[in-house]
Chain A
Amino acid sequence: MNLFLYLDRDSPVHRLDPRTKLFLMLGSFAVAVLFFAPTPLLLLLGVLLVYGALGRALGNLRRIWVLLLSIAAVSIVSWSIFAGGSTPLVWRATREGFLYGIGAAVKIVSMIISGLVFLSTTKTEEIVLGLIRLRVPFQAAFAFSLAIRMVPTIIGTAVTVTEAQRSRGLDTESGGPLARLRTYIPLLVPIFLHTLRNTDQLAKALESRGFGARRERTSLLTIGFQARDVVALALGTMTVGVFVAARFAW
């Protein structure tokens, strides 16, 4: 089971400098935060889907579509009911609330997809290198990559522990919330202790690889701005600019 999002492919987006992709992602976040109405946000989502298709990254959507759909559903339903408004739709839901809910759903989904495209097209090491070039200290940038690295390890441990306890008769799937909470103790204790031990091992292994031995570090990977980065940044800036202008000028 591969839990990393990165897709080892060759695409125009893969070839961009990680900093470019980082800026594009932040730009899309900014646009998403600026708007509340569904129309411009749907437009943003469209742009992001084109970007993701260019990066051949949309295959990863298959892995999170359940998550995206449930976020959207929860958002639309709850805003429809609780946002208030003057035009009744059905029961307590209002037309204003419904539209606001759609906007909020598209906003979150857009931001997740934007992050997904970034992680699907950029190696963790490239992200670290990009962050270092942006003057983030190596230790901090590396901590970020280590966090990403630990996710699959912890999930793997969790799967094994769950199987082990289920084979002892633990029922993790039925019962009320309180009963369920109680069934988590036999799962959480071994997962936590195992992860702790693993972290200790990781620290020793890092030291023996000379981690932190020198102030100046070299890198086998190279990154650098190319013509394509200039084009991408220009297009990105323009797009963000149009959105911002639309928000404030019209």
Chain B
Amino acid sequence: MIRLDDVSFRYRVGKEPALREVTCHIRPGELVGLLGRSGSGRSTLAATLNGTIPHLVRGDLTGRVRIDGEDIRAKRPRDLADRIGFVFQDFEAQLFSTDVSLEVAFGPENLGVDRAEIARRVERCLRMVHLSHLGHKAPAALSGGQKQRLALASILALEPRILVLDEPTSDLDPAGRRELLDVIRSLRQAGDLTLLMIDPETDEMGWADRLIVLDGGRIAVDGSPAALWDRADELDALGVKGFTLASLGRRLGLTERWPDAQSAADAIRRGGWQPVAGAAERLGAADVACGDGETLLEVENLIHRYPDGTEALGGVSCAIRRGEFVAILGQNGSGKTTLVKHLNGILTPTTGEIRLAGRSLRGQPATLLSRRVGLVFQNPDHQIFAERVWDEVAFGPRLQGLSEADVRRRVEEALDAVGLADLGDMDPFILTKGSRQRVAVASTLATKPDVIILDEPTTGLDYRELQGMMALIQRLNAAGHTIVIITHAMDIAAAYARRVILMQGGRILRDGPTRDVFADEACIGPTGLTPPPVVQVGNRLGIPALTLDELVSGLTRDVGAQGRGGAEASPGPRASDIGPGTARS
């Protein structure tokens, strides 16, 4: 079906090859997951399959790429559109039409398919992605998850036999993600589609036939999920997270492969493991003494209506205390971002009040607030403009009118804090996404805010970059900064945040210690969010653990005998199963 022989590629601007002598063969009907850290060559490899490389992206391509035995070197992507379909991460850039049906029709129209057949395909493809009821809506009015499913439908309408999905779920909220994956699963069951999917989450790829891990442009690992189940260390060395449940199994000496939390919990019980008596109390006791400082921010009965009348927040009240680490969770549209935009004055309440250190924010200009509450936006590219990292970070302090000496001190401190002290002279635009995210954090840090709010600080980062970013945020918190993060990554919320605010439909559904909120799956359920796998297993075993270490520490094999599991791991630093090197208390 797809055959690559000795394929190497170097971008015209790159010094090192992005692909090095890649040889692999993908059989018809296979579902292949492509994994690897950022820069490992995953997207580059995918781009060689439909001629994007070398026709749209220039560079030196050697070796041979064949689809169904045919060398495709001379073919442009549009010539291959009816054989190999591409769905990209950025769903906004994939939609061109003003109407959902016409969007799906666009591809077949380009290929000159006759009108009756186009109508049939539109009908069928919209049904496949569960969007039939929205046939005449404007794509711009859809949710992120719906847009990505529409992008998928518009590719399926070309009836390709190979489908490449390049991080299709990265920009989606958990609900959008699950809906898209459900559709992809049903496609796979329906027929002979060959699927190639790039996804940063190994845990999401357990249902693939085959996982290929790239490293430095080479295929480092190629095997079934079953074969990779227990090779977490090897994957870790390649910058890829292993299967979470496999790590749990290994800690407990159980090697079987568990498809979900329930089967893991059952197997752990069958294996003779039981909760340590008093585990719940012991874990709960470790949670005290955090965020008991004075109240910094108070939100009271906040209602916000956008100019078009939509009520984004419907009466929100909460308080942030000094030194806290709070995670705001919820699907897109639940009001998370609208809420934090009020906290630093970008938006003003329609009704209700916000108080900073007891003083009402009403009538205060945003420039005054931004000194007290720093907001790091999701995409660093929405704010980086300077030609040097140093100047970018100095921007905020300079606007505050500080002396050049003070500015220099602030910038140096901030760059040091984010681990970029040596890169002050670099052009931010050539840094990796992870480093650009750090520049954005540093430029907020340099304004010395009381509270730092980070909107989705880990989106688009690979596993290593994510670990580094979270370690940085935790370090800032330990140094006394009050942290609020918005995140879709439940494992991050569980491992780092001490308090969770769960939002739905513009209201706070639950606000409490992370442990209590995650232990209450019945409460989380309606939001469509699910606790991370380890927490789910713990909940099923009656242990309110938030991390792998905590869960293992709460289990014991033989009651009365040396208390093996319980003694082995201390509750200790919570963050350790997000990755090595991040643990700090």
Query: A interface vs B, CB < 8 Å?
Result: 1-4, 6, 8, 123-125, 145-146, 149, 152-153, 157, 160-161, 163-171, 185-187, 189-190, 193-194, 197-198, 201-214, 216-222
Chain B residues with Cβ below 8 Å from A210 are: 78, 81-82, 107, 110-111, 158
Query: Could you tell me if B90 and A168 are in contact, using CB atoms closer than 8 angstroms?
Result: no
Of B108, B155, B346, B383, which one neighbours A218 at CB under 8 angstroms? B108
Query: Could you tell me if A2 and B140 are in contact, using CB atoms closer than 8 angstroms?
Result: yes
> Within the complex, what minimum Cβ distance (angstroms) separates A219 from chain B?
6
Query: Could you tell me if B141 and A168 are in contact, using CB atoms closer than 8 angstroms?
Result: no
With an 8 A cutoff between CB atoms, is B341 at the interface? yes
- Chain A's closest residue to B398 (CB) is A169
With A153-B92, A209-B107 already in contact, the answer to whether A164 and B383 are too (CB < 8 A) is yes
- Chain A's closest residue to B107 (CB) is A209
Chain B residues with Cβ below 8 Å from A149 are: 96
Of A8, A197, A214, which one neighbours B110 at CB under 8 angstroms? A214
Stretch at the interface among B59-67, B181-189, B218-226, B369-377: B369-377
- Chain B's closest residue to A152 (CB) is B140
> Within the complex, what minimum Cβ distance (angstroms) separates A179 from chain B?
12
Chain B residues with Cβ below 8 Å from A222 are: 115
With A125-B99, A165-B383, A218-B118 already in contact, the answer to whether A198 and B93 are too (CB < 8 A) is yes
- Chain A's closest residue to B110 (CB) is A210
Q: Is the interface of A mostly helix, strand, loop or mixed?
A: helix
Query: Could you tell me if A1 and B377 are in contact, using CB atoms closer than 8 angstroms?
Result: no
- Chain B's closest residue to A202 (CB) is B93
Chain B residues with Cβ below 8 Å from A190 are: 381-385
Chain A residues with Cβ below 8 Å from B374 are: 167
Alpha-carbon separation in the docked complex, A8 to B374 (Å)? 41
Contacts A8-B136, A168-B396 supplied; 16 other A-B pairs, CB < 8 Å: A1-B307, A1-B308, A161-B383, A171-B399, A193-B429, A201-B94, A204-B77, A204-B86, A204-B88, A205-B96, A206-B96, A207-B78, A208-B50, A211-B110, A218-B112, A220-B105
- Chain B's closest residue to A212 (CB) is B78
Chain A residues with Cβ below 8 Å from B136 are: 8
Query: Could you tell me if A163 and B108 are in contact, using CB atoms closer than 8 angstroms?
Result: no
- Chain B's closest residue to A166 (CB) is B366
- Chain B's closest residue to A211 (CB) is B110
Q: 6 tightest CB-CB pairs across the interface, nearest first?
A: A210-B81, A201-B93, A189-B385, A207-B77, A220-B105, A210-B110
- Chain A's closest residue to B85 (CB) is A208
Query: Could you tell me if A169 and B90 are in contact, using CB atoms closer than 8 angstroms?
Result: no
> Within the complex, what minimum Cβ distance (angstroms) separates B203 from chain A?
27
Alpha-carbon separation in the docked complex, A123 to B102 (Å)? 11
With an 8 A cutoff between CB atoms, is B122 at the interface? yes
With A152-B140, A189-B385, A220-B118 already in contact, the answer to whether A169 and B102 are too (CB < 8 A) is no
Query: Could you tell me if A168 and B370 are in contact, using CB atoms closer than 8 angstroms?
Result: yes
- Chain A's closest residue to B158 (CB) is A210
Query: Could you tell me if B81 and A207 are in contact, using CB atoms closer than 8 angstroms?
Result: yes
With A2-B138, A124-B98, A194-B382 already in contact, the answer to whether A167 and B109 are too (CB < 8 A) is no
With an 8 A cutoff between CB atoms, is B113 at the interface? yes
> Within the complex, what minimum Cβ distance (angstroms) separates A84 from chain B?
43
Of A6, A194, A208, which one neighbours B381 at CB under 8 angstroms? A194
> Within the complex, what minimum Cβ distance (angstroms) separates B308 from chain A?
7
Alpha-carbon separation in the docked complex, A169 to B371 (Å)? 7
Query: Could you tell me if B81 and A213 are in contact, using CB atoms closer than 8 angstroms?
Result: yes
With an 8 A cutoff between CB atoms, is B539 at the interface? no
Query: Could you tell me if B383 and A168 are in contact, using CB atoms closer than 8 angstroms?
Result: yes
Chain B residues with Cβ below 8 Å from A193 are: 381, 429
Chain B residues with Cβ below 8 Å from A214 are: 110-112
Query: Could you tell me if A209 and B158 are in contact, using CB atoms closer than 8 angstroms?
Result: yes
With an 8 A cutoff between CB atoms, is B143 at the interface? no
Chain A residues with Cβ below 8 Å from B78 are: 207-213
Q: Mark B347-379, 1 if CB is under 8 A from A, else 0.
A: 000000000000000000111001100110101
Alpha-carbon separation in the docked complex, A217 to B106 (Å)? 10
Chain A residues with Cβ below 8 Å from B76 are: 207
- Chain B's closest residue to A138 (CB) is B110
Query: Could you tell me if B395 and A186 are in contact, using CB atoms closer than 8 angstroms?
Result: yes
Alpha-carbon separation in the docked complex, A152 to B92 (Å)? 11
**A and B contact pairs by CB, cutoff 8 A, 13 listed:** A153-B92, A167-B375, A168-B395, A190-B385, A207-B76, A207-B81, A208-B78, A209-B78, A209-B107, A210-B107, A211-B110, A220-B115, A222-B115
Alpha-carbon separation in the docked complex, A202 to B151 (Å)? 12
Q: Mark B329-347, 1 if CB is under 8 A from A, else 0.
A: 0000000000001001110
Query: Could you tell me if A213 and B88 are in contact, using CB atoms closer than 8 angstroms?
Result: no
> Within the complex, what minimum Cβ distance (angstroms) separates A9 from chain B?
12
With an 8 A cutoff between CB atoms, is B482 at the interface? no
With A214-B111, A220-B102 already in contact, the answer to whether A163 and B346 are too (CB < 8 A) is yes
Query: Could you tell me if B370 and A201 are in contact, using CB atoms closer than 8 angstroms?
Result: no
With A4-B138, A167-B366 already in contact, the answer to whether A208 and B97 are too (CB < 8 A) is no
